[in-house]
Chains A and B, each alone.
Chain A
Amino acid sequence: MLTVSVYRYHPELDKKPYMQDFQVDTGGKDLMVLDVLNMLKVQDSGLAYRRSCREGVCGSDGMNINGVNGLACITPLSACVKNNKLILRPLPALPVIRDLVIDMDQFYKQYEKVKPFLLNDTPAPAIERLQSPEEREKLDGLYECILCACCSTACPSFWWNPDKFIGPSGLLQAYRFLADSRDTATEERLADLDDPFSVFRCHGIMNCVTVCPKGLNPTKAIGHIRNMLLTRAT
């Protein structure tokens, strides 16, 4: 039997959050954490968590699994369980709506700030804006982000200043558009980032790189943004 300790909080019923222990029979199988959550849901239908695609594509089920942020659907028990115990908490730093469900408003506000869409003031071509394979290659490692918030909520700089520091996820996206050959707003984008918080609150702690379930490297992208800012200003 696996002991699963889950963070529970129902704002209308509970005065404060608490940890609830469940016993789950995994049948000796190396299940994914999401499978275990689904088994808990059978035991207690009131348990709240987000999930959708169950294959690491939608980014809904980001949570803190035995102290490390990750996606429940692609984290096998063998990779996280210690001493036959699984501890599940909501992603840190953002307000909890209920149980493992967090309010991601602040995260999305930072994402909005970087204008995550192509800006191009040149006349639209008849069919499409073309890119060479080399130009397209620059977007690899950037476009794959699924906005699960595992990285930003693992970042101490984001914990202290979630309203000012864009966070690793938003900055990865910022660089995704700075690096895009079809975008013509590079100057405006960089001007918007040149303050002591938006980019420069990153101290290279690299928790984002450690936890990213897609294996992306936001710290490297932030380094590229810094270099672009430096090149522009010197």
Chain B
Amino acid sequence: MVTTITNFGRSGLYDWLLQRISAVVLALYSVFMVVYLLLNPQLDYAQWDALFGMTSMRIFSLMALLSLGAHCWIGLWSVSTDYIKPFVFRFVFQMVIGVLMFVYTVWGVQLLWGL
């Protein structure tokens, strides 16, 4: 058993599962957005606003946003443990990524929900 305290879920299995579930959510969201944009070439602001005004779209977007945050954190944490060997650089990188993910998530919630 290797001890780690900076990964997302404290367990390899948890991170692994979350990485896959978040990937599925992001894939579905991406496909939905591409199809929606293709089907609505004359998209205007009112229509776009109405789309994001729907509760179901807000839930879907929030799910995608949280998935993106978790997915990036797990992925970049993994990359940092592979390629950044000096402890200080690795730790600082991980903290910067963690703070950035938090900021983007809160910012994204604010935008999506119009808070």
Contacts and interface: CB of A to CB of B under 8 A. Distances in A.
Interface of A: 157, 160-161, 164, 191-201, 226, 229-230, 233
Interface of B: 1-4, 7, 11-13, 15-17, 78, 81-83
Contacts of B11: 194-196, 233
A199 B81 CA distance: 15
Contacts of A201: 78
Contact of B12 (A157, A160, A161, A195): A195
A-B CB proximity, top 8 nearest: A200-B12, A196-B12, A160-B82, A197-B2, A195-B2, A164-B2, A196-B7, A229-B13
Contacts, number: 49
B1 A194 contact: yes
Contacts of B82: 157, 160-161
Nearest to A198: B2
Contacts of B78: 196, 201
A191 B2 CA distance: 11
Contacts of A230: 13, 17
Given A226-B16, A230-B13, A230-B17, A198 B1 contact: yes
A195 B17 contact: no
A229 B14 CA distance: 10
A201 B4 CA distance: 13
B1 A199 contact: no
Contacts of B15: 196, 200
A29 B7 CA distance: 55
A198 B13 contact: no
A166 to B, nearest CB: 9
A224 to B, nearest CB: 14
A201 B16 CA distance: 10
A197 B77 CA distance: 12
A161 B3 CA distance: 14
Nearest to A160: B82
User: Which of A194, A198, A199 lies at the interface centre, i.e. has the most chain B CB atoms within 10 A of its CB?
Assistant: A194
A200 B4 contact: no
Contacts of B16: 200, 226
A50 to B, nearest CB: 29
User: Which of B2, B16, B78, B81 lies at the interface centre, i.e. has the most chain A CB atoms within 10 A of its CB?
Assistant: B2
B1 A192 contact: yes
Given A160-B83, A191-B1, A197 B12 contact: yes
Contact of A199 (B4, B7, B12, B17): B12
A200 B12 CA distance: 6
A132 to B, nearest CB: 30
Given A193-B1, A194-B1, A196-B7, 15 more contacts: A160-B81, A193-B12, A195-B2, A195-B3, A195-B11, A195-B12, A196-B12, A196-B15, A196-B81, A197-B2, A197-B12, A197-B81, A200-B13, A229-B13, A230-B17
21 contacts: A160-B83, A161-B82, A164-B2, A195-B1, A195-B2, A195-B3, A195-B4, A195-B11, A196-B2, A196-B4, A196-B12, A196-B78, A196-B81, A198-B1, A199-B12, A200-B12, A200-B13, A200-B16, A226-B16, A230-B13, A233-B13
